[in-house]
Amino acid sequence: MEQMTSRSNKKKVAVVGALNACFFAKRGFDVEVFETREDIRQAKIVKGRSINLALSHRGRQALKHVGMEEKIVSQGIPMHARMIHSQNGKQSPIPYGKKGQYILSVDRANLNKQLLTAAETYPNTKLNFDYKLQDWSAETGLMTFVRSDGLEEQIKADLIVGCDGAFSAIRKQFLRRSRFNYSQTYIPHGYMELTMPPINGEFAMKPNYLHIWPRNTFMMIALPNLDKTFTCTLFMPFEEFEKITTGNEVIEFFQKYFSDAIPLIGVDTLKRDYFRLPAQAMVSVKCTPYHIGDKCVLMGDAAHAVVPFYGQGMNAGFEDCIVFEEVMEQFNEDFSAVLPEYTRVRVPDDHAIADLAMYNYVEMRAHVNSRWFLFRKRVDNLLHFLMPKTIIPLYTMVTFTRTRYHECVERWQWQNKVINYGLLVSATGLVLGGSYLLIKNPPDINKLIIPAEKMWNRLMALRTP
């Protein structure tokens, strides 16, 4: 057993996850970062998921705390609105919020690299790569790793912070304990990434948008990258992916549903890239409690993997760091009080965002096609403009504030009741008022036929296509 010498008088914290390392290092803890993989900054080929991420307020606030916000934001591409591509090729934008509010498309690999470099600048932090966790004890804080040279190394930590992703190795030991509630739910959809190259050195579509092709049971989205490509992601039930087995079937399928994207991706690229990798699964993980005793805590995807449809996965994980920081402040870094309190305050919010992401999984691909949905979005935005503190659209609360996720949901349900009731009252008022005027001044019936026909046509147009 090789004992690490302490570089300070502070407690030792073992973490997976570079942002968390910065938070603990900033507080003066003696921090050891462990990565199962090699240092991605030196790696030739970056393996793993390449999806770009949507960074918004919560994530930015966490980056700001460790002085990284500006750097990361400057390397992201602002997206001010969704751009809806209808089946006939028509494009219509739906803004994310008020003027000046936007989310950012950032590169996952680049973000990881920047955070590792930031963590390394703290003298009380050590990065360990190629360390495979063999065993650990929640009672003693002793962790056993196998290093890249094949030797074992043991490290004793005062706190083990498991931010080791949706398939967390740390979480496995939680599962063996009594009274640990856990669920993992795979959705019936898989995803597949396709690259849309630049055209004449420029973005093939308008860059400052998150492009969406909603098609009810499935959909495609596209996010811009710094190299002027777009990463297109096709979300579809696995059995639909499996039905397409030849290049020609791919083109036929795109011809039918995403015809405007074919010339932009390119027929040959499309035929080839569709078969490069099988469709990937998406999982939603919820659990509670997040801690064992006073020595281990789960954070980020390890505690709450969410489906990617609200663009909040990374933001929720980064916000965990702020919430933990707040609880640390409140309880004076006493882990035996901090850990239970962290579970108590954070679980309801993480469960709420997991549910919201699942809800948006339906909304993004189906509701966006409904005129009633678009009408309600406009009403919400108008009311938000008129009463900015009373009516706040759900998306705005989630994306552009730090309102606790579970409070966003509660407030949204309340607002919906109020607005729907208001719309009902207004509609009734209009009908009653109109009837009264008609009775008082009966108009020439012949003059009514044409406006009535127009109104009827409008009404018909309002129905979901």
Binding site for a copy of itself (CB under 8 A): 175, 178-186, 281
Smallest distance, Å, CB 279 to a copy of itself? 11
Residue 42 or 183: which CB sits closer to a copy of itself? 183
Smallest distance, Å, CB 109 to a copy of itself? 23
How many Cα atoms are found within 13 Å in the side-chain-facing hemisphere of 420? 8
Residue 36 or 154: which CB sits closer to a copy of itself? 36
Nearest to 339 by CA among 103, 146, 160, 142: 160
Nearest to 360 by CA among 313, 415, 301: 313
Nearest to 304 by CA among 326, 329, 323: 323
CA distance 147 to 129: 8
Smallest distance, Å, CB 175 to a copy of itself? 8
Smallest distance, Å, CB 238 to a copy of itself? 8
**Residue 462 contacts residue 375 (beta carbons within 8 Å):** yes
Helices 445-462, 371-386: axis angle to 10 degrees equals 100
- In the chain, the amino acid numbered 278 is P
Residue 63 or 292: which CB sits closer to a copy of itself? 292
Residue 183 or 446: which CB sits closer to a copy of itself? 183
Which residues, including other chains, have CB under 8 Å from residue 353's CB and lie 6 or more apart?
Answer: 304, 306, 310, 312, 316, 398, 405
Residue 186 or 375: which CB sits closer to a copy of itself? 186
Smallest distance, Å, CB 171 to a copy of itself? 11
Residue 122 or 180: which CB sits closer to a copy of itself? 180
Which sign does the torsion angle of CA 111, 117, 121, 123 carry? positive
Tokens of 400: 């552009």
Smallest distance, Å, CB 172 to a copy of itself? 9
Smallest distance, Å, CB 169 to a copy of itself? 11
Residue 30 or 301: which CB sits closer to a copy of itself? 301
Catalogue the long-range contacts made by 413-418 (C-beta closer than 8 Å, 24 or more residues apart). 415/380, 415/391, 418/391
